[in-house]
Amino acid sequence: MNNPQKNILILSWFFPPSTMPAAQRTYAFAKYFNRFGYRPTIVSRKWDEYQNLKDYYKPSETQNIDYLFCRHYDAYLLPYNPKLRDRLANKKGIINTLIRKTLSTIDILIFPLYIKISPYYPLYFFSNELLKKSHFDAIIATGNPFELFKLAKILSKKHNIPYILDYRDDWSTSQLNFNKNITDYFKIFYFRILEKSWSSNCLFFTSVTPFYTSKINKIINRKGIVIYNGYFNFKAKLEVKDFTFIYSGKIYPQQNLNILFEALLLFKSTISNNIKLFFIGNDDDLSIKYSIINTSLKENIFLLKRLNSKEIHQAYCSAFGFLLFSYGEIKGILTTKIFEYLFYKKPILLCPSDNDIMQEMLIKTRTGYYANNVKDCYNHLVFLYSKFIKMEPAIEPNLDKINQYSRKNQIYNFSKALNEYL
């Protein structure tokens, strides 16, 4: 006899039509948990559109709650009305910036004691009412924003329901966007206190890489499960017309593009000018623009705005290959885009290499090449171009390894962890 399906409540700030990677992770929960014995109900904010950071703080166009009843899940999408702090986000000026930073500091300090000041409070209020009239076996809060962890803990205690914390990235142990100054050291100290407190009673936690999971475990002393971001399976008609490479997503200050650009200049002067690099979602990145202006790469490098899912799928289908860059000395980062790249089974060029988890992924799946200097990067470009000209395969992907990283398989792994407790 089959076990009855169990119900899980998922708190997330991101859900489609948001195009953020975080929204895709929550959508994977919605799409696949039902296949493994769990009926998910998503409580999230409503996204009318999200193409760039300016859209993040736009109020909802309508004030009704959108209810989605689907075969695999239910979802309640709540209208978003930005508070003063967030209304100032897209306004320029020193005074506006100062006011916003002051309000952000106040929010950070007061939220743990008084959650009603938070823009995330509507998710708590709605979830609390939902739990009063519907039965759920567990709560999953996915962060960031990590304030949702606090909401999950309160709801768990109030309704006597276990909760699980899903870290997409690490929190107080994160090295991204960290500057070695007294302010950031204070933030780490303060966030670490909150992180330990909000996770103290969780059943277990999940994160997206073994390295992150290990770091978080040392802080909160709870069992951790690795749930990779993975990729969705869908129909794809691959048509490579030009020798083009795509990088999708934000470029961080720690990432070094100079090796690739120098190799590209050498490739242009010795082999062919028939090469193009597309940086999607970086049309306003001044650091890349200056790098291009200072070289003769204007006709080879293109900065594009953020694309919707259909547009980026079309771009991926027509590209010859993909680009990745390490994050300097920061280890353990397995960016979401690497899984998206894997699905298309096209060559991936990692330059410079992280000599860590991304390089290991390329070796394991046999999907790419890595370099730490101009000469090696140039040689890879020459080799890949020869394959392009001859219309020969540039990689021999390990399909069994790649299949392990589908979103469906990752949610199966999540469900197995839930089965141990529920």
- pLDDT by residue (tens digit) across 229-242? 999 988 778 888 89
Of 159, 154, 340, 325, the C-alpha closest to 253 is 325
Contacts of 303 (CB under 8 A, 6+ apart): 279, 282, 283, 285, 288, 289
**Res 254: pLDDT:** 85
Q: Is the pTM of the predicted complex or chain greater than 0.75? A: yes
Could you tell me if 48 and 58 are in contact, meaning their C-beta atoms sit under 8 angstroms apart?
yes
38-47, 152-161, 282-291, 355-364: range with lowest mean pLDDT? 282-291
Helix spans in 345-398 (H): 357-365, 374-390
Report whether pLDDT(398) > 60: yes
In terms of average pLDDT, the best of 178-192, 326-340, 389-403 is 389-403
**Res 182: pLDDT:** 81
Kindly report, residue by residue over 52-67, the tens digit of the pLDDT.
Answer: 666 778 888 888 999 9
Average pLDDT over every residue of 104-122: 81
**Res 117: pLDDT:** 83
Of the two residues 283 and 68, the one the predictor is more confident about is 68
Kindly report, residue by residue over 115-128, the tens digit of the pLDDT.
Answer: 888 889 999 999 99
**Res 91: pLDDT:** 73
Q: Which CATH architecture has domain 6-82+119-230+406-419?
A: 3-Layer(aba) Sandwich (3.40)
For domain 244-403, give its CATH number from 3.40.50.2020, 3.40.50.2000, 3.30.1050.10, 3.90.550.10: 3.40.50.2000
Order the strands of the 244-248 sheet from edge to edge. 301-304, 276-280, 244-248, 321-324, 348-350, 368-370
Report whether pLDDT(213) > 50: yes
- Domain spans in the chain, listed from the N-terminal domain onward: 6-82+119-230+406-419, 244-403
**Res 284: pLDDT:** 67
For 135, the token pair is: 């039965």
Same fold yes or no, 6-82+119-230+406-419 and 244-403 = yes
**Res 102: pLDDT:** 74
- Give the CA dihedral 201, 206, 207, 210, nearest 10 degrees: 110
Share of the chain above pLDDT 90, in %: 62
Which long-range contacts does 171-174 make (Cβ < 8 Å, 24+ apart)?
171/143, 171/144, 171/146, 171/195, 171/216, 172/219, 173/212, 173/215, 173/216, 173/219
Q: Count Cβ atoms below 10 Å from residue 181 Cβ, excluding itself.
A: 9
The whole-chain average pLDDT of the chain stands at: 89
> Hey, which residues does 301 pair with through a beta bridge?
277
